[in-house]
Amino acid sequence: MQSGDLIKRLEGLGFGEADARTLADHFLAAEARGKTGHGLSRVAWLETRPFELDPDARPKCLLREPGYERWDGNGTLGYLTLAAIVDAQLAEPPDHARLVVAQRTFPTGMLGYWTRRLAEGGVVAALTATSPARLGHPDGDRKLTGTNPLSIAIPSSGGDPVVSDVSMGRVTYGDVLAGEAGEDELVPFGGEHAHKAFALAVGLQLLVDSLVGEPAHGAVLLVARPEADPVPELRARAAGLRLPGDR
Amino acid sequence: MQSGDLIKRLEGLGFGEADARTLADHFLAAEARGKTGHGLSRVAWLETRPFELDPDARPKCLLREPGYERWDGNGTLGYLTLAAIVDAQLAEPPDHARLVVAQRTFPTGMLGYWTRRLAEGGVVAALTATSPARLGHPDGDRKLTGTNPLSIAIPSSGGDPVVSDVSMGRVTYGDVLAGEAGEDELVPFGGEHAHKAFALAVGLQLLVDSLVGEPAHGAVLLVARPEADPVPELRARAAGLRLPGDR
C-alpha cells in the first residue's frame, strides 16, 4: 500500500493529515521490517473501533524536569503519544539522562521504530510498554502479564545504530491479529526456559504499572546522552553477522 | 558456612570487617536462593586472585544530580560499589527517578540482591550489568556479549516485593564456576528463540557500554519513586503461583 493511500485511509478514521502521516509512517515501517502484526493489520483493527477513538485528542506533558517527564495519552492513540514524546526528546535531549513515563498510552506498536528514531538522533533509548494480559504463568493457565516488549537502541558514529526489540511472547498478539499465529502460541518464549521470559514480562509490567499515575496501559522510556560509541567496535567483532535491528 | 566464618575468610583476602560483612551477606543470600554460582564458589574464585584485588579501594561518586549519578568502582570489587550505590539511593531516594551509571564495576553478583534491597526500602529499581563476552551469536561461534542479567524489583505494600532477575544465558558463568554446567551450555537461552535472548543481551551490553565513561564492565541502575502499588493486585490474580523472586 502506498503512503498516500494509507494516509487517506487513516484520515477516514477522523485523523488530521499530520497525525495520519505519523501513523502511516509507523505502520509502513513495521511492514517493511516484516513485523506485519504491527503494520497494516493494525489499521484494519483500528477500523473495527476496538476502543473509542478521539482523533482530536492530544497527549499532555503533565510534568517536565531535567531528568523526568510524565505524559498522559489523554485519549489519543498511543502511537501518537510516543511520537510526541520522541519529538520532544530530540528537540531537547537530556544533559545526562531522563526517564519519561507515559501513562494511558496504548497501543504503542513496534517499539524499535521509536527507539531507532531516538538513536538516529544521537540519543540512547530504552523503551517498554504494557498491553493486555495475554501471557500466562509457565505453571498455570491464567493470563497474568502483557507481552511487554523491551527495545534498546544505541547510536553509532557509523550511522548504523543497533536496535534490539524483543517481545516476551513466543509470538505477538499482532501476529495473531495478522493471522500468522494462533492464540495458543501466545506464551512466554524460551521453551524449557520460559520462566525467564515470563519473569522479564512481569518485571517490565510492574515497572510500568508502578510508575504510571493512572491504572491503564502505558510506556516507560529512558533516554540518555551517550558517553561512548561502542557500536562500531561490536560490528567489527561481529564480522558481518546480523546484529539486532539490522535488515 | 556460617556468616562469621565467611567474614574471616574474606578478611583473609585483605578486606576490612565492614566490607567483608557486606560481601558475606551477598554471597550467603545467593546461596540461600540456590544461586550458588553467585555464592561461595565466587569466594573460592576470588581466592584465586582472578584480577588484582585492592581491599583499600573505595568507590567514588563522580557526579551527582537529582536525576543522574555517575560512579566509578575505582579499583574496588563491583559488589562493594553496588552496595555503596544502594546505600546512597536509600539514603536519598529520587523525587521521581534517577539513572545511576556505575563504571569500572565488576563483578556485580546476583543483581536481584541489590534491587531487592531497594524495593524493600520502597524504591522501584531496574539494574543491569555487563561481564566478559561469553555469549555467541545464534548463527556464529564468536563470543560477542556478556550474559548481562536484568533485574527489576517493585515494592509492595504487602511487604513482599516482586524481584525478577534474568540472565540472558541458558546458564550463567557462575554455574560453570560452580561446576553445575559446562561452558558449552553458555549460550543465549530460548532454544529456537535464542535470537531474542541474544538481542536482549546485546541491547543491555551496548546500553552499559554507551553510558560508561571508561571502557570496562559496568552497571546501569534506574531507581524511581513508585506512583502506584501494583504488586498486591498481581499476587491476588496469580492466586498463589510463584512470582519472580519468591522462594
Indicate if the pLDDT at residue B1 is higher than 80: no
Q: Which residue has the higher pLDDT, B52 or B201?
A: B201
**Interface ipTM > 0.95:** yes
Provide the pairing of β-strand B97-103 with B68-72: parallel
* A22 pLDDT tier (thresholds 50, 70, 90): very high
Query: What pLDDT shows up at residue A188?
Result: 96
**Which residue's entry shows cell 519472580?**
B244
Indicate if the pLDDT at residue B223 is higher than 90: yes
User: In chain A, which residues have their Cβ closer than 8 Å to the Cβ of B202?
Assistant: 162, 164, 234, 243-244
* B135 pLDDT tier (thresholds 50, 70, 90): very high
Helix (H/G/I), strand (E/B), else coil: B55: coil
The residue type of B218 is G
* B139 pLDDT tier (thresholds 50, 70, 90): confident
Largest CA distance in chain A: 49
User: In chain A, which residues have their Cβ closer than 8 Å to the Cβ of B203?
Assistant: 126, 150-154, 162, 164, 166, 244
User: In chain B, which residues have their Cβ closer than 8 Å to the Cβ of A136?
Assistant: none
- Contact: A226, B206; criterion CB under 8 Å: no
Query: What pLDDT shows up at residue A29?
Result: 98
Among A211, A217, A223, A241, the strongest candidate for a mutation testing the B interface, having the largest count of B CBs within 10 A, is A211
Query: What pLDDT shows up at residue B2?
Result: 87
For chain B, what is the mean pLDDT?
A: 96
Indicate if the pLDDT at residue A241 is higher than 80: yes
* B203 pLDDT tier (thresholds 50, 70, 90): very high
Q: Name the residue among B141, B164, B133, B110 with its Cα closest to residue A168.
A: B164
* B209 pLDDT tier (thresholds 50, 70, 90): very high
Question: Average pLDDT, stretch B80-87?
Answer: 98
Kindly state the percentage of chain A with pLDDT values over 90: 90
- Contact: B210, A237; criterion CB under 8 Å: no
Query: What pLDDT shows up at residue A82?
Result: 98
DSSP E strands in A76-122: the ranges are 97-103
Indicate if the pLDDT at residue A20 is higher than 90: yes
Q: Is the domain defined by B57-238 classed in CATH 3.40.50.1370?
A: no
Query: What pLDDT shows up at residue A178?
Result: 80
Question: Average pLDDT, stretch B205-229?
Answer: 97
Indicate if the pLDDT at residue A93 is higher than 90: yes
Q: Please report, for chain B, the start and end positions of each structural domain, with discontinuous segments joined by +.
A: 57-238
Taking the Cβ of residue A152 and every Cβ of chain B, the question of whether any pair is shorter than 8 Å is answered with yes
* Nearest-CB residue to A124 (from B152, B190, B207): B207
Among A115, A134, A207, the strongest candidate for a mutation testing the B interface, having the largest count of B CBs within 10 A, is A207
User: Which spans in A92-192 are helix H?
Assistant: 111-120, 173-177
Among B123, B130, B154, B196, the strongest candidate for a mutation testing the A interface, having the largest count of A CBs within 10 A, is B196
Q: What pLDDT, in 10s, does the model give residues B9-34?
A: 999 999 999 999 999 999 999 999 99
Which are the contacts of A61, defined by CB distance < 8 A and separation ≥ 6?
Answer: A69, A70, A71, A88
Indicate if the pLDDT at residue A174 is higher than 90: no
Kindly state the percentage of chain B with pLDDT values over 70: 100
Q: What pLDDT, in 10s, does the model give residues A74-88?
A: 999 999 999 999 999
Phi, psi of B240, deg, nearest 5:
95, -10
| Whether A169 contacts A134, CB under 8 Å | yes
Indicate if the pLDDT at residue A26 is higher than 90: yes
Q: What is the DSSP letter of B243?
A: P
Question: Average pLDDT, stretch A10-31?
Answer: 98
Distance between CA atoms of residues B66 and B132, nearest Å: 31
Question: Average pLDDT, stretch B164-181?
Answer: 90
Q: What pLDDT, in 10s, does the model give residues A125-145?
A: 999 999 999 999 998 888 999
Distance between CA atoms of residues A160 and A158, nearest Å: 5
